[in-house]
Each structure stands twice: as C-alpha cells, then as structure tokens.
C-alpha cells in the first residue's frame, strides 16, 4: 500500500536554502515538510570531525562580506560573533611564477595589483553579444595580460569562483560584479556553521533518507491543484506547492523527473549554468611551522591554489591537534585531483607545504610532522555532485531568472544557482529562499488547500 501524506507546502532539500525557506514559511504553513535525500541535514554545510579540537568545515567556511542576510540572521538569532579578515593574506610565488617565495599581500608587485583592478572593475565592461560569450582566459589575453597574471587570476579568482579561467564566462562575471553588494572582507564565525543548520532544523518537520524521484504538478489551472511528490521507494507527498532546492547538478542529470516536463526555456537555462567541483585536502600536524598570524596563502601555479590555517574555540579538546591546514582546489584542477585519489592528493599537498615552509634546518616541516589527513571531494557526494555554481561560459542573461521562475504557481525553485545576481555564497542561497517563500505565500490558496482530506502519515 502506498504511504501518502498531505501538506500545504513540501520543500525538497534540507540544505541552507531549504531550511531557511521552511523557517520563513512555518508560521503561514505550520504543516510544511522538508524532504531530504541524505541521512543528515545541512546540504553543502558539513563538518569533518576528529582532525582538530573543533569541527573543520567540509563546505563553506568564510562568509564573503558583512552586508548579508546570513550575517544578520546569525547575529540576531544565535548571537554569533564574527571576526573580519582581509583577503588575500599572503602569496607564495614559486619558481614557475617569478620565484619571490612568500609575500604579504601588502607587498605584492604591480602585476598582481593590475589583476585585482581588472577583476574588481569588470562590471564596467560591455556585455558580450548574445550567443558570443568569452571566457575569462580569452578576456585577459585580449587585455594583454602576462602568463604570470594569468596564473595569479587562476589561483585568486577562478579558484575562488569554483572553476578555471577557461570555464569562467565574462557575461555572468560582469553581472556578478555589478550585483555584488555584500562587501569585500572575509568573515569567520566564532563557531561552526553547523550551528546555523542546527538552529534552523530545530522544530522543523524534516524527513531524511527521502529520495525524491518525481514531481507531478499537472491538473489544470484550478486553485489548490495538488502536486504529487514521489520517492524512489514508493512514498508519496501531496501538497499545494513544492519548493525544489536541490543542487543544479541533480536537475541537469535527470535525478528528478517532472510531469509535465519543464519548459524549454528552463531546460535550456539548466543546460548552460554550470557547477564545478571543489576538493578540500585537510591535514593536521603535531606542531605549527608557519607564522602565527598567517591565516591564508594564495599560490599561483601550485598544486593547491589556496590554503588556510584557522583556529576556533575548542568544542572537543581531546580531538586531533590545533595545527591544521586546509587546501582548497576547485574546477578543472579539482577534477584532476579527484582522479588521482586521496593518498596522492595528500602527498602532493605535503610536498607543496614543504617547499613553501622548508628551511635549511627543517627542510620537510610538513611531511615530518603530519598526523592525519582527510580529503573532501564534493563530486563524490551522490546528492550534491559538485560544489557551487559559477559564472558559466556560454550562459545567457536571464538564465538564472529562468531557473528561478515558478511553474503554474505550484512548483518553485531556490538554491544558490537560482540567484539572479550570480551569487553562489551562503547569503546568495538564503536570498533565493526569501524570494521563493514570498512567491509561495502569494500563490498558494490556503483555504482551498485546507479543504483537502488528511491522509495517513509518512
């Protein structure tokens, strides 16, 4: 017998956008349910435990800019204190990019400053004609940038966007620059990002291990027409509205089927918006061999384009060591690292750290003091299949709006890839939840939904 339940609103995905949307909707729709494929909540907010006396973030760790809904929510609802960091902090230039070694960001040369100016002012560029987008690599070449400047941009900007310069599209990069209003500093919470997820999940009706396989939303234009959400194991939720917050990769790969099929405009936009992979290589050490005030290093031309070493208040004093470094590798480079496997990735990262911090009296400080390693590969997460969307080469203006557009007032979409300002950060995800929640409140006929008969519980 098919197990069914009825809810005013069903939300697919218990990541940040899904949980925040449920938080915003619960007063209007107390029976809102969140359906999560994994056996945990949080989506791309996830922690690695046992490496340090505090949880290490497998997903987002920095908050990009103080002017954001995430910062306001965390401060007001949880009392979170944020510390601000300037970024970049340090650079390392190996022999292949000039050989200067470690350089503080305040002391970088004009070539690096010109790259910052180029990307910082890209919103002033004219939009490429429709159908004729260019990559950031082509754009920089046309500007006369040197190979060293290309390497700087690859490590500092493309890697941060979650892609390579070849994958980074000028059209959406311009829109992202024009729409960015969060500020330029990096913020760090005084606790794990998991605290925000725990807060949002508290009291919410969440069904984990609920893998959605199909959504049927036909039934004409009558108010309150029911949506049928089916799981892979035969369970059914009927609802007046469904909010889909899954990563764009899940939709692109057809993991959820829609009946009727999504429009040609939406599927075309889906085909053009891309999500890259991210790999984090986490290493713990028995000692600190870097400057105490150093927190981040950008490394043009190196195996890991960026790494950081952060400290948080201990939550598990007996776990791991307080000396941890996280390498951040994105885009095509992450695909290459994924193929080489975790052992090789850790070995390559140790070699990089030995090169950067080695001294005549201590030539292999990283390799000689490593305690434990862990590799996070987001492409291997079956219900994520990547990290976050980036300004995609070949995307057209309006693609993000097409992804975000509701269908028949019954099927709604949220998640960072649907952010019309091309903001893939955590505040971007929350902004889409706010937009979708407002759309649902406006569209759902509560009175019509309330007359539906209650069905047996999940």
**Cross-strand bridge partners of residue 186:** 64, 85
Q: What is the pLDDT of residues 199-245, one digit of tens each?
A: 999 999 999 999 999 999 986 555 455 899 999 999 999 999 999 99
Q: Can you say whether the dihedral through the CA atoms of 446, 452, 457, 458 is positive or negative?
A: negative
Task: Transcribe 60-101 into DSSP letters.
Answer: ---EE-SSSHHHHHHHHHH---EEEE-S--EEEE-GGGT--E
pLDDT computed for residue 219 by the predictor: 64
What is the CA 261 to chain-centroid distance, rounded?
27
Q: Can you say whether the dihedral through the CA atoms of 162, 167, 170, 175 is positive or negative?
A: negative
Lookup: tokens for 398: 């309006």
**Cross-strand bridge partners of residue 33:** 10
User: For residues 19 and 206, what is the distance between their CA atoms, to the nearest angstrom?
Assistant: 9
Task: Transcribe 84-144 into DSSP letters.
Answer: EE-S--EEEE-GGGT--EEEEGGG--HHHHHHHHHHHTGGGSPPPPTT---BHHHHHHHTT
pLDDT along the chain (458 residues), means of 10: 86 98 97 98 97 96 93 97 93 94 96 97 96 97 98 98 98 97 91 97 97 89 73 95 98 97 97 98 97 96 97 90 97 98 98 98 98 97 97 98 97 98 96 98 62 44
Q: What is the pLDDT of residues 296-345, one digit of tens each?
A: 999 999 999 999 999 898 999 989 999 999 999 999 999 999 999 999 99
φ/ψ (deg, to 5) at 90? -130, 160
Q: What is the pLDDT of residues 167-183, one digit of tens each?
A: 999 999 999 999 999 98
**How many Cβ atoms sit within 10 Å of the Cβ of residue 12?**
26
Lookup: tokens for 278: 């991210």
pLDDT computed for residue 220 by the predictor: 56
Lookup: tokens for 25: 């909707």
Query: What b/e sequence results for 61-71 when a residue is b if at least 16 CB atoms lie within 10 Å of its CB, and e otherwise?
Result: bbbbbbebbbb
Helix 331-340 with 342-357: angle, nearest 10 deg: 120
Lookup: tokens for 181: 């209003």
């Amino acid at each position: 017998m098919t197990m069914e339940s009825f809810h005013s609103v069903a939300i697919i995905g218990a990541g940040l956008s899904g949980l925040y949307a449920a938080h915003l909707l619960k007063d209007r729709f107390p029976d809102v349910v969140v359906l999560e494929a994994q056996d945990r909540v949080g989506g791309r907010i996830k922690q690695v435990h046992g490496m340090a006396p505090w949880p290490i973030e497998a997903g987002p760790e920095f908050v990009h800019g103080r002017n954001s809904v995430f910062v306001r929510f965390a401060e007001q609802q949880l009392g979170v204190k944020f510390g601000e960091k300037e970024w970049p902090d340090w650079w390392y230039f190996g022999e292949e990019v000039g050989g200067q070694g470690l350089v503080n960001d305040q002391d970088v040369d004009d070539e690096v400053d010109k790259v910052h100016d180029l990307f910082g002012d890209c919103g002033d560029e004219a939009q490429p004609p429709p159908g004729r987008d260019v990559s950031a690599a082509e754009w920089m070449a046309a500007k006369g940038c040197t190979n060293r400047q290309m390497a700087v941009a690859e490590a500092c900007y493309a890697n941060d966007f979650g892609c390579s310069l070849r994958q980074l599209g000028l059209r959406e990069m311009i829109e992202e620059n024009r729409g960015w209003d969060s500020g330029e500093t990096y913020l760090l919470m005084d606790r794990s990002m998991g605290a925000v997820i725990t807060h949002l999940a508290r009291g919410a009706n969440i069904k984990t291990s609920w893998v959605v396989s199909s959504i049927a939303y036909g039934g004409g234009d009558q108010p309150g027409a029911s949506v049928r959400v089916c799981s892979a194991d035969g369970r059914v939720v009927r609802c007046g509205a469904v909010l889909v917050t899954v990563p764009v990769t899940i939709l692109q790969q057809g993991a959820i089927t829609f009946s009727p099929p999504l429009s040609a405009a939406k599927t075309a936009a889906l085909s053009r918006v891309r999500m890259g992979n991210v790999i984090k290589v986490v290493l713990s050490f028995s000692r600190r061999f870097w400057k105490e005030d150093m927190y981040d290093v950008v490394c043009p031309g190196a195996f890991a384009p960026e790494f950081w070493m952060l400290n948080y208040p201990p939550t598990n004093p007996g776990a791991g060591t307080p000396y941890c470094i996280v390498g951040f590798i994105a885009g095509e480079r992450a695909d290459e690292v994924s193929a080489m496997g975790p052992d090789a990735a850790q070995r390559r990262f140790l070699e990089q750290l030995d090169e950067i911090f080695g001294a005549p009296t201590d030539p292999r400080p990283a390799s000689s003091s490593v305690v434990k390693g862990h590799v996070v590969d987001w492409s291997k997460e079956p219900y994520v299949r990547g990290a976050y969307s980036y300004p995609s080469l070949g995307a057209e203006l309006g693609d993000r709006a097409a992804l975000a557009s509701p269908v028949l007032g019954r099927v709604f979409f949220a998640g960072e890839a649907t952010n019309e300002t091309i903001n893939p950060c955590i505040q971007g995800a929350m902004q889409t939840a706010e937009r979708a929640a407002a759309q649902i409140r406006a569209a759902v006929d509560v009175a019509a939904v309330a007359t539906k008969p209650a069905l047996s519980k999940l």
